[in-house]
Structure 1
């Protein structure tokens, strides 16, 4: 099984606001940078989208070391939130619908067949790859902002 490194980040200018995401895949000395954005989104949605799109880009089952500065993403997987939500019909402990359920479900599907290990890295702390995907996610968010005609609804 190939071993791949995946570095991800998301950004939004406002919450909600224009947003961007970036994912850097690295395998055998080669890199591929993926990125995109949305006109009206949240930071958490962009963090999830970066991980999702990075995993979707893999063409065969892999061992994936996924690096993120999103505690939301890392804790949901490492602390079992995601499994609990699925068992509870996509409801929180308080009985409220889980936010970003569509992306969480898609992420579960994208992870199937891979061995994914999540690693949390402190954002803006000098981690070179995290800095790189952060800059690209912010650039994508700025591009979306330039296109936006009206503010996002609250």
Structure 2
């Protein structure tokens, strides 16, 4: 089983609004790999969830993953077993409201079951996370520029 450290971040321009995500993979030999993406319409929480999903989906074989995120929603879901409570309560949260973004959470749970994932808190004080944050925001700018160019060409 291979080891990988991933710093993930999601961003949103407005909430809801256009979103972006980024992943910085750091391998034991020191190599890095960067992945980013644009989401035309998202929320901040959804962008964070998608960042984690895209990171874990890109790892083919089961791996030990140290996943760094500043998303309290993602971390709390696993640290406080929201998953178990949501399922037991018919996908309702502690306020008895339907859990938002259920299909994304279900996909994330599949991936976490496939890999051995440990979630840790990070922040912009961490240089790696500061880069991930900048890359997620850049993905929004580039995605919006591409959409604008397509609309002007139509």
Q: TM-score, normalised by structure 1?
A: 0.89
* Aligned mates of 1:41, 1:93 — CA distance in 2: 23
Unaligned runs of 5+ in 1: 150-154
Q: Deviations over 1:12-50 (max 9, x none)?
A: 000111110001112232221111011111111110011
Can you give the 5+ residue segments of structure 2 that lack an aligned partner in the other structure?
Answer: 150-154
1:152 alignment counterpart:
none
* Larger relative helix fraction: 2
Work out the CA distance in 2 between the residues paired with 1:148 and 1:85. Answer: 39
RMSD: 1.5
Pairing of 1:1-154 with structure 2 (within 5 A): 1-28=1-28, 29-122=30-123, 124-125=124-125, 127-146=126-145, 147=147
Q: Distance in 2 between matches of 1:7 and 1:86?
A: 28
Moved over 6 A (4+): none
Which whole-Å deviations, capped at 9, do the CAs of 1:69-125 have from their partners, x for residues lacking one? 111111111111122112222111232110111111000111122111000113x22
Whole-Å separation in 2 of the counterparts to 1:110 and 1:2 = 15
